[in-house]
Structure 1
């Protein structure tokens, strides 16, 4: 008997090399896309874009003295508005909060969904940073976030005056996102 590997087994030795080459090619393509601007790492597609929001009925954050939030509240707003998923434990939510406050001061309706948070912590966050929300619902179990396809907080959706989801942003709303994306979309769907 010979100790030489059989031809079929020899091909198995090349499998890890092939996998590494395929991964390298994919990584290279992603880097080229980032360089040319054709790849957006935050551009996670959403099944909701072009549709109305899924049905939901959330309890209020009682200490905030704001009305609860349900899907019916997202119809008939009469102008484009935002739905923002956030949490007090979310560091990027602190980064985006000044932009939400700015939009609220400009009269843009912002509806909040507090995601998997403790009510006292959520209230402390709003007391410390301000409250930009017209209505605020608590999604403590996270079921509504699942129905919306939320990957993590913060996540923001822009809906038109008829309540159709037109845009989604996974990550904090920065001044650049506000200027380059949200501002033009608010004008477009006004």
Structure 2
């Protein structure tokens, strides 16, 4: 009986050490999204270029698409923009832009200057849609399947190198989207 008095605390200690070691192996910048595997939050918002028209996430049912959260004031958005444009134009990826906490005139000017890869871009001036999607900052992207389920969240800019941040590389995202298209 006395030996059990030492075994239980030892087991608890070993379990805590194992949990801490597991946590140390994870990237602190990568917070897993609780939305992955769940239906994308429904929203309706004004289109950036045609404010009298509304866009709804439900308009995309039956299509695999990417929601790209961006802003004209975001330096990293500028870095990834060329890659998002290439995904849309060269690979036919359907990309919807969510202009986050931005002024419409600034956003329009930015797209005019750098090109517009979006089938539409909608305004989220107050950040309410971003909150529903768990956006921590910009840029972020969400890959949404034909059933309207979020299948992947991309935190930070999409990159062109599998070495930099492999889960954010164009090649991995294109392969993932193509798999979803085939389902």
Flag whether TM exceeds 0.5 (same fold).
Answer: yes
Deviations 1:88-113 (A, max 9, x none): 00000001101110011121100111
Please name the residue that 1:189 is paired with. Answer: 180
- Matched positions, count: 154
Q: Which residue of 2 aligns with 1:96?
A: 80
TM-score (norm 2): 0.77
Measure, in 1, the Cα distance between the counterparts of 2:42 and 2:74.
25
TM-score by length of 1: 0.74
Deviations 1:23-43 (A, max 9, x none): xxx79x74xx3xxxxx23442
> How far apart are the structure 2 equivalents of 1:107 and 1:124?
24
- How far apart are 1:71 and its partner, in Å? 1.9
How many Å separate the matches in 1 of 2:146 and 2:54?
Answer: 20
Structure 2 partner of 1:49:
36
C-alpha deviation, 1:186, in angstroms: 1.2
Take 1:134 and 1:179, find their aligned partners in 2: how far apart are those partners? 19
The answer as to whether partners of 2:45 and 2:54 remain within 8 angstroms in 1 is yes
Does the aligned pair in 2 maintain the 1:42–1:171 contact within 8 Å?
Answer: no
Q: Which structure would you say has the larger Rg?
A: 1
Following superposition, the deviation at residue 180 of structure 1 comes to 4.7
- Mind listing any 5+ residue stretches in structure 1 that lack a counterpart? 1-25, 34-38
SS at match of 2:169: helix
